[in-house]
Copies of this chain bind each other. A is one copy, B any other.
Amino acid sequence: MIKNIAIVGGDLRIVKLAEMLRKEDYQVKTYALEKATQIQDTKVDTLEECVKDADIVLGPLPLSTNEQLINAPFSEEKVQIDELINQIAGKTFIAGSVKQEVYEMAEDKDITIFDILKREELAVLNAISTAEGAIQIAINETPKNLHGNNVLVLGFGRIGKILSKMLDGIGAKVACEARKTTDLAWIKAYGYEPINLIELKENLNRFDIIINTIPYTLLNREMLQEVKKDALIIDLASNPGGVDKQAVKELEIKFNWALSLPGKVSPVTSAEFMKETLLNMFKEINNE
């Protein structure tokens, strides 16, 4: 049974997470989080002390932003990744966006590494927050209501599905673009207007709000020329995004490239989703 958790570094979500785990009666020790006043009583003085009795070691998400030091905005400490890896031989280590080199470092130390950001349930839950953030932007940046208005969602993956449901729930007339016949059948089943990719171009000028979820430049200059001049385009796809940034600017279409919404719009819910995912991981680890 997992009981003792060592947390090393991390941002506000990790702090919230530490609070939540403590409330659920885990023994939590933290290191490189000394500025987070809410969890002072979990603080220990050395990395060694933090991890020595731990059943699980939890690191930042992402683990590092410079491939050397772990990500620790709530600390003055500089913890080297290899230092951490050396201290946790034989243990289970959970962090986010763990690079290949770290797996290699850990190889002969009998460390089991799990990347929490690769968990699909977390991606689904985060899509809820992203969708809600997109709705807030859409209400905020248009002089029209979403209710009764024509909104186009590009892509019917995780975010596309949840966003369409919310937009429909708020009263928008929702159309979704997809490429696969199966996705188009699902779009119809869920009650939205299906738009086949091959008919997208001729349909673009019907929409006041277009929200992209596809990480591929679908809205290139040729497509953008079809978009209403007073439309709003929101791009939720991470780099390079799905919109030709240069063209959208030149065509003077209102544009918002909205990245990393979950952490911005709902950090507390994000921490809750991380906790849920973590507890799922604990159960799976226990069952092995």
Chain A residues close to B by CB (< 8 Å) = 119-122, 124-125, 127-129, 131-133, 135-136, 139-140, 142-149, 161-162, 165-166, 168-171, 181-182, 184-186, 188-191, 265-269, 277, 280
Contact = CB atoms under 8 A, between A and B. Distances in A.
Contact of A125 (B128, B132, B189, B269): B189
Contacts of A181: 119-121, 277, 280
Contacts of A139: 132-133, 135-136, 265
Count this chain's copies in the assembly: 4
Contacts of A185: 120-122, 124-125
A146 B191 CA distance: 12
Contact of A124 (B145, B171, B189): B189
B128 A145 contact: yes
Contacts of A133: 139
A160 B26 CA distance: 36
Contact of A189 (B127, B140, B268): B127
Contact of A171 (B142, B169, B184): B169
Given A120-B181, A124-B189, A125-B189, 16 more contacts: A121-B182, A127-B189, A128-B145, A128-B147, A129-B145, A129-B147, A132-B147, A135-B170, A143-B266, A147-B191, A148-B269, A162-B189, A169-B169, A169-B170, A171-B189, A181-B280
Contacts of A124: 182, 185-186, 189
Given A121-B182, A266-B143, A280-B181, A188 B148 contact: yes
Contacts of A190: 165
Contacts of A147: 128-129, 131-132, 166, 189, 191
Given A170-B132, A171-B128, A143 B269 contact: yes
Contact of A267 (B143, B265, B268): B143
A128 B143 CA distance: 14
B189 A128 contact: yes
Nearest to A139: B136
Contact of A268 (B122, B143, B162, B191): B143
Contacts of A122: 185
B170 A125 contact: no
B140 A266 contact: no
Contacts of A277: 181
A107 to B, nearest CB: 27
